[in-house]
Amino acid sequence: MTFRFRALIALVALTALSLALLIHAQECVCYPTDVLFTSPFGPLKSLRFVINVNGSEITGFGAEASLVIPETPVSLDIHVDSWLGIPLNYNYHYVLTQYNKTMPIYVNIPAAELIITPLSASGMPLTTLALINVTCDNHFVDLGVGPQVVVVPIPSSGSIMCNITGYSYGAIARKGVILTMEKSGQVVPITLTIPVSGYYIPGVGFVPTSTFILLAFVMIIYTIVIVILLIEYAFWRGRVGPRGPPRSYRF
């Protein structure tokens, strides 16, 4: 009886040891790896991408992704689907080995940088008085006040059409630009002249003509009121004399 009990205990221990060895053999020694989507001008945000790691797909949004890479060699396929809804359709293939599996993966996407400068009809910079709207391939890209800097990725099709619209005090100006692969890595300056006139006042900046006229009108009214008050005061002093009105004087 004692022998059978000891044999049973030994069998259970052997089974547990075998299971532990099997689980350990199936465990994956993995390493974290980051995928960073960049352009010639820095990180590229608002991307939609699909990453295939040894047949397993991961869908992500943004400018980066964090992966867990197994110890064995890994085949990595990255598909950059779109940017702000604009199709890009770029495909990249990487093979990770024990020598580079912990290094960040940089996915470089062709892009151009738009530098938009709004000016008045007289050439004065509209730093705070112009609303700039940017669309590319009929998709909203950017909206801001004053000069804007926009990095635009160029699709694999080879080109993208961007339209810039500026608004200032009811005046509108539009300009379009086509970005091709030849523009990748380049800065594209765009001067947007909005037909609004005005004057530059030191310490104040650009003042539109309508605002300038309104300010001048207010100053004229203010001056007239001051003059009338001074005349009335002088007339009153002339009636009451230099010593002022007597105690029984009624206004």
pLDDT of residue 96: 81
pLDDT band at 131 (very low <50, low <70, confident <90, very high): very high
pLDDT of residue 204: 57
Most confident of 26-30, 57-61, 128-132, 174-178: 174-178
pLDDT band at 74 (very low <50, low <70, confident <90, very high): confident
Topology, domain 18-108: Immunoglobulin-like (2.60.40)
- For 54, the enclosing helix (H) or strand (E) is none
pTM of the model: 0.70
pLDDT of residue 198: 65
Q: Between these two residues, 239 and 141, which has the higher pLDDT value?
A: 141
pLDDT exceeds 80 at position 80: yes
pLDDT of residue 24: 43
Q: Between these two residues, 177 and 231, which has the higher pLDDT value?
A: 177
Any idea what DSSP says for residue 183? G
Q: Do domains 18-108 and 111-196 have the same CATH topology?
A: yes
pLDDT exceeds 50 at position 25: no
Percent pLDDT > 70 in the chain is 75
Q: To the nearest whole number, what is the mean pLDDT of the chain?
A: 82
CA distances from 75 to 21, 80, 220, 227 (A): 28, 17, 78, 86
Domain assignments of the chain as residue spans, ordered by start: 18-108, 111-196, 199-251
- For 14, the enclosing helix (H) or strand (E) is helix 2-26
Distance CA 165, CA 118 (A): 10
Look at domain 111-196 and name its CATH class. Answer: mainly beta
pLDDT band at 79 (very low <50, low <70, confident <90, very high): very high
Q: Between these two residues, 38 and 198, which has the higher pLDDT value?
A: 38
Note whether 109 and 184 are within 8 A (CB). no
Distance CA 183, CA 138 (A): 20
pLDDT band at 242 (very low <50, low <70, confident <90, very high): low
- Percent helix, strand, coil in the chain, to 5, is 25, 50, 25
Q: What is the mean pLDDT of residues 152-175?
A: 94
pLDDT of residue 123: 86
Any idea what DSSP says for residue 154? P
**CB within 8 A of 64, min separation 6: which ones?**
34, 35, 36, 37, 43
Q: What is the mean pLDDT of residues 114-142?
A: 92
